[in-house]
Amino acid sequence: MTTALTASTYENLQLNAGLFLRGFDFSTAATAAQLRLLVADAIAEGSCIIGATRGGGTFQCTPNLRAIEADGQRSPTVGATVNDGWTVKLTGTMLEITPDNFAAALICADVDKQGSLTTIRARREITQDDYIPTLCWIGDTSRGFVLIELTNALNMKGAAFTFTDKGEGTLPFEFQAHQDADADQDYAPFRIVFFD
């Protein structure tokens, strides 16, 4: 029998669901141990964590491909495929519902806190403040961590809050990365970093 299983297979697994953090600065972490401490601090402070999720999540990076066609061309030809850009998304389902993550799900909303009342109002106009400058997913690996960071994330699906009898309310999200106008256009608006 043939198999792709090798001696290092179990050293190269991604494990568990991970967590989502907004505005998380990991620039001072050079090792998995240092990243672990930064994540623990972010969780303790509660400033970056989006909240508990259910069902894990998904990272999608889809090229926007276009085939250049010419008369007489009978099949796809090497060099005739062009990538016009990337569609990059992080998706999941929020189990922990807060005013901030509900507002983020609404895409463009204002949150007004007055004493013990918090009011969220959706508006039509999308402003620069609606984009999450950095949205990270961090997951465990057999050797350390993998981190996926989207820049200028915006939930493109809107809010679809589901609540059930004898269950918990859930709020799916689909954050899409957006390019800065002055950014290097040769690269998509995300990065993946492995911490071993």
Confidence of residue 151 (pLDDT cuts 50, 70, 90): very high
The C-alpha atoms of residue 15 and residue 195 are separated, in whole angstroms, by 14
Q: What are phi and psi of 78, to 5 degrees?
A: -55, 130
> What are the angstrom distances between the C-alpha of 82 and each of 65, 88, 190?
6, 17, 20
For the chain, the helix, strand and coil percentages under 3-state DSSP, each to the nearest 5: 15, 45, 40
For the stretch 50-105, pLDDT in tens is: 989 999 999 999 999 999 999 998 998 999 999 999 999 999 999 999 998 899 99
pLDDT at 6: 86
Provide the residue ranges of all domains of the chain, joining segments of one domain with +: 14-69+77-195
pLDDT at 18: 92
Give this prediction's pTM. Answer: 0.90
The C-alpha atoms of residue 29 and residue 23 are separated, in whole angstroms, by 15
User: How crowded is the C-beta side of 180, counted as CA atoms within 13 Å?
Assistant: 10
CATH code of the domain made up of 14-69+77-195 = 2.30.110
The C-alpha atoms of residue 179 and residue 171 are separated, in whole angstroms, by 26
Residue 40, helix vs strand vs coil: helix
